[in-house]
Structure 1
């Protein structure tokens, strides 16, 4: 197998062109060898959805928040997420939720599931009582310590 000489100067010049022009990839072919330099556009991909998505929900949330009572994770009946993941209210898609507002529950009953790293973690009720409010939406991402529901 013939050795392939790497032309480091050519790669640097192509990388410089990518920086100057904002391209994500560039390819050079002189008939004997071909060099392709590419960069992932992670930053651009991340910025675009945030820019497009951020203004739309803001008016909706501002209109909805004054009507809803202010709840936080310090509420005596607060059930918070023990991990970062995705919250699911039922055991599988299309099935009924584990609990609904107004349901009586016992300590240890499964309230919902938080999926973290492809592991489904059942979140048990820390105490018995009545489900007063479900704060999290099915399939929504949750952070550690985020309020999930209120049980009184």
Structure 2
């Protein structure tokens, strides 16, 4: 999901709603998604969150109140949010934003399962992993 595929509708509108902490994005197929900043941060496509391969994902916690403080365009295919916790390495392609928007319920359920399996809740502070070196 690195770039814009032919199958993904094109974005028509993009609004950052700071007070409600959601990114609203409208697509050419008529879909309008309101993606919570927390969901974006928890599922950031960055290596810091996703790891460098299967099984290396880093469970994100303590992101309920995260804000998007800046949203930078990346060519014609993506945006790069800068989050209030300093995270700024995820490039969100239109494809990936469509995926996040269209599968929110499923993604939240998966996140809750991963939290339960780790024995933490979503407001737990992040714990640094030893030996993790992705530049942050």
Q: Provide the TM-score with structure 2 as the length reference.
A: 0.21
Q: Which has the higher strand share?
A: 1
Q: Provide the TM-score with structure 1 as the length reference.
A: 0.19
Larger radius of gyration between Structure 1 and Structure 2: 1
